[in-house]
Every structure is written in structure tokens, then in C-alpha cells.
Amino acid sequence: MIRGMNHAVLYVRNSERHRTFYEDVLGFSTVINEPGQYVFMRAPASENHHDIAFFAIGEGSGASQAGRQTVGMYHIAWEVATLAELAEMDQRLRTAGVLIGASDHGVNKSLYCKDPDGLEFEVMWLAPADRWGEEEHEAIIRPLDIAADMERFADSPADPAPNSTKETA
């Protein structure tokens, strides 16, 4: 039985550029690196061998047309444990100039960003399941207000156990 997503592998123009971005902006560590070919990376609080790998296909490669002209993946979502961590990521992503949007989806609070090749990813916090209510069954998009959510969820555990169901696309 599937219990969650373990890792993603993406084709990118330059694996070293992605390694640097994921280390500097998101705090990932490098597990395996074959410069110019591929890099396998682990998220800071992950227990996986690796969470993402980047395979270099060259600087002359075209941009992804997924969602515009072809089918393909929309984004990957990285989960943080607390709203405080989400607020910290908001500042890091703004400083890096990669934040392209922020949304309150009811059950999760999300920041949307682009990597060095323009591929979209999300950094999100998932509210405790016992607080989802009817919003679990709704496709909600509201403006994100992390400070207000920190007050609203102040009585939630600071570092809840990982959820068995995670948003991956």
C-alpha cells in the first residue's frame, strides 16, 4: 500500500545551479553529486535517502511547456512543520526573489515559487486534520495571512507528527 511520496526526479538545464539554489534557499543537503550530470538532495528534516534529484540535460534545453502546451507536472509541494517555519520560508523566498504567489487553501497555507529553470514548487504548512472541517472538501483559494493563521492555530502543536497524506501536486 502506498504511504506517501518519497522523492521526485527532474530534468534541468544545470544540476549544479539547482544544487546551489536548493542548498542556499531551501536548506537541502547534497547526498550524491556528479557535477554536470546529476545531484541527489535531502530536505533538512527528511528521513529519506533523498527527496529530489536533478538530472542535467544542458543549457540549450527549452523551457517546460507543461500546463501551457503539453501535459506534465504542475509543481512539487514541500511541507514545513509549523507556521513559524512557513513565515521564515516566506522571507527566504522573497529575499531570493523567487516567490510568485501565496494562498490560503483552508487546510493548507502555501507559498508558490520558481526554481532556476522556472519550474514551480510550493512550500506549505498543513493544518492539523482535526481542524479541517468542511474545508477538506473544498478547493479554496484565499489571500494568505500567516500572522493571522499563527493566532488562529496558536493552540495547535508546535511540531505536529507528519501527516500520512501529503499534497504532492
Q: How many Å apart are CA 168 and CA 122, to the nearest integer?
A: 9
Q: Can you give the pLDDT at residue 21? A: 98
**Hey, what domains does the chain have and what are their CATH numbers?**
1-59 (3.10.180.10), 74-169 (3.30.720.110)
3-state DSSP of the chain: CCCCCCCEEEEECCHHHHHHHHHHHHCCEEEEEECCCEEEEECCCCCCCCCEEEEECCCCCCCCCECCCECCCCCEEEEECCHHHHHHHHHHHHHHCCEEEEEECCCEEEEEEECCCCCEEEEEEECCHHHCHHHHHCCCCEECCHHHHHHHCCCCCCCCCCCCCCCCC
- CA 164 – CA 149 distance, rounded (Å): 22
Task: Report pTM.
Answer: 0.88
> Using one digit for the tens of pLDDT, what is the confidence trace for 44-89?
999 999 999 999 999 999 999 999 999 999 999 999 999 999 999 9
**Per-residue pLDDT at 167 exceeds 80:** no
